[in-house]
Amino acid sequence: MTDIKELKIVEAPDGHAGAGFFATSYSAVIGLARKNSLWPLPFATSCCGIEFMATMGSHYDISRFGSERPSFSPRQADLLMVMGTIAKKMAPIVKQVYTQMAEPRWVMAVGACASSGGIFDTYSVLQGIDRVVPVDVYVPGCPPRPEQIIEGLMQIQELAGKESYRRRNSEEYQLLMDSYNIK
Amino acid sequence: MILLQKTYMPADYFPLFIQLGCALGFIVFALVLTHLLGPKRHGAVKDEAFESGIEAKGDARMPISVKYFLTAILFVLFDVEIIFMYPWAVNFRELGLTAFIEMILFMGLLLVGFIYVIKKGVLNWLED
């Protein structure tokens, strides 16, 4: 059993601590809350989905990073994890699911097929989901080991922690959505 | 030392309602404020009903079989009957024969209803 002193918990952000209160900046707290409670939407299609199942299990345990509750409804998910080969027929479905997610939302392309089509350079396979949705983190591998998926999640956490909390209402974000024709 | 038996007047429960009011008030305040002040992004596709990524068709209003309702409502009725039997079970000896006959009458009336339900074939799940 892990000794209680070895358990690592989330560090408090920079701020002023007093008797019974802690004052810090709004963005620091929001970033902290967002990054440590990313609820994934496992869009698992193929073999990478199996690796994700292992990652969700107790041995590799993604829930210790806050991804306690995977949701299959985009309304309640923060992170769209596309794991597996996406056919061209499936592409509008991935796009629709992404569009119906509530902000703030991040996308992780797990595996070679989601990142770039993988070994399937054919007429039926979408050559990377970044052709239909904006992707934040790509996890290479065929399939990537659970440790690599966790590394991808930690990079999403870094992005979520440092993101400005008004970014989703900004001009830049709107331009990004328009470039993908996401309404 | 005399032990005073405190009897509670209805007016003594007023602080409970204040607490309930405060809790409700806070919830309403927080919900309204986040609704008004929170960031929003709406879109034509985003606001559509979620149908696993495909186009949503229809409005999900279709007639369902009445047997589901009947099963549920009969459960509620007989469950309430059982609940009435709980205080009777606790005070069984003190209430004596009178209460026993009253309860038998009560259960008899409900039994008549139950026989009607069986005879009508309501509990027959499979319809031919």
Only one residue has tokens 């930690």, namely A154
* pLDDT at residue A116 is higher than 70: yes
| Structural domains counted in chain B | 1
What is the per-residue pLDDT for B90? Answer: 92
Q: Is A164 on the interface with B (CB under 8 A)?
A: no
Asked whether residue B113 is domain-assigned, the answer is yes
Asked whether residue A15 is domain-assigned, the answer is no
- How near does any CA of chain B get to the CA of A182, in Å? 8
Asked whether residue A85 is domain-assigned, the answer is yes
Q: Is B34 on the interface with A (CB under 8 A)?
A: no
Asked whether residue A134 is domain-assigned, the answer is yes
Tokens of A157: 């956490």
- Which residues, at least 6 apart from B17, have a Cβ–Cβ distance to it below 8 Å? none
Rg, Å, chain B Cα set: 27
**Cis status, amide bond into B10, omega within 30 of 0:** no
Percentage of residues of chain A with pLDDT beyond 70: 98
CA–CA dist A183, A178 (Å, integer): 7
What is the per-residue pLDDT for A27? Answer: 87
Asked whether residue B26 is domain-assigned, the answer is no
Asked whether residue B116 is domain-assigned, the answer is yes
Query: Are A80 and A74 a contacting pair, CB within 8 Å?
Result: yes
Given pLDDT bands bounded at 50, 70 and 90, which one contains residue A88?
very high
Asked whether residue B112 is domain-assigned, the answer is yes
Count of CB pairs separated by less than 8 Å, A with B:
33
Q: List the one residue out of A57, A71, A55, A56 whose CA is nearest residue A105.
A: A71
Given pLDDT bands bounded at 50, 70 and 90, which one contains residue B3?
low
Asked whether residue B120 is domain-assigned, the answer is yes
Q: Which domain holds residue B121?
A: 63-128
**Cis status, amide bond into A143, omega within 30 of 0:** yes
φ and ψ of A101, to 5 deg? -75, 150
Asked whether residue B23 is domain-assigned, the answer is no
Q: What is the pLDDT of residues A159-176, one digit of tens each?
A: 999 988 888 888 999 999
* pLDDT at residue A103 is higher than 70: yes
* pLDDT at residue A16 is higher than 70: yes
What value does the mean pLDDT take over residues A13-23? 88
What value does the mean pLDDT take over residues A13-42? 90
Query: Are B122 and B74 a contacting pair, CB within 8 Å?
Result: yes
Given pLDDT bands bounded at 50, 70 and 90, which one contains residue B128?
low
How far CA A18 is from CA of A10, A22, B75, in Å, comes to 19, 6, 56
Asked whether residue A139 is domain-assigned, the answer is yes
| Structural domains counted in chain A | 1
* pLDDT at residue A25 is higher than 80: yes
Specify the higher pLDDT residue, B126 or A139. Answer: A139
Tokens of B26: 């806070």
What is the per-residue pLDDT for B71? Answer: 92
Site from A93, A100, A129, A168 to mutate, B interface, most B CB atoms within 10 angstroms: A100
Query: Are A98 and A131 a contacting pair, CB within 8 Å?
Result: no
What value does the mean pLDDT take over residues A46-58? 91
Asked whether residue B10 is domain-assigned, the answer is no
CATH of the domain at B124: 1.20.58.1610
CATH of the domain at A45: 3.40.50.12280
Query: Are A43 and A81 a contacting pair, CB within 8 Å?
Result: yes
**Cis status, amide bond into A104, omega within 30 of 0:** yes
Percentage of residues of chain B with pLDDT beyond 90: 54
Contact: B43, A169; criterion CB under 8 Å: no
Asked whether residue A102 is domain-assigned, the answer is yes
Q: What is the pLDDT of residues B36-67, one digit of tens each?
A: 988 888 888 888 888 888 888 877 788 888 88
Lowest-confidence segment of A5-9, A33-37, A116-120, A148-152 by average pLDDT: A5-9
Q: Is B46 on the interface with A (CB under 8 A)?
A: yes
Q: Which domain holds residue A153?
A: 40-160+170-179
Asked whether residue A34 is domain-assigned, the answer is no
Q: Which H or E run contains A150?
A: helix A146-162
Q: List the one residue out of A118, A140, A136 whose CA is nearest residue A127.
A: A118
Asked whether residue A165 is domain-assigned, the answer is no
* pLDDT at residue B2 is higher than 70: no
Asked whether residue A14 is domain-assigned, the answer is no
Asked whether residue B85 is domain-assigned, the answer is yes
Given pLDDT bands bounded at 50, 70 and 90, which one contains residue A127?
very high
What is the per-residue pLDDT for B38? Answer: 84
Quote the mean pLDDT of chain A.
Answer: 90
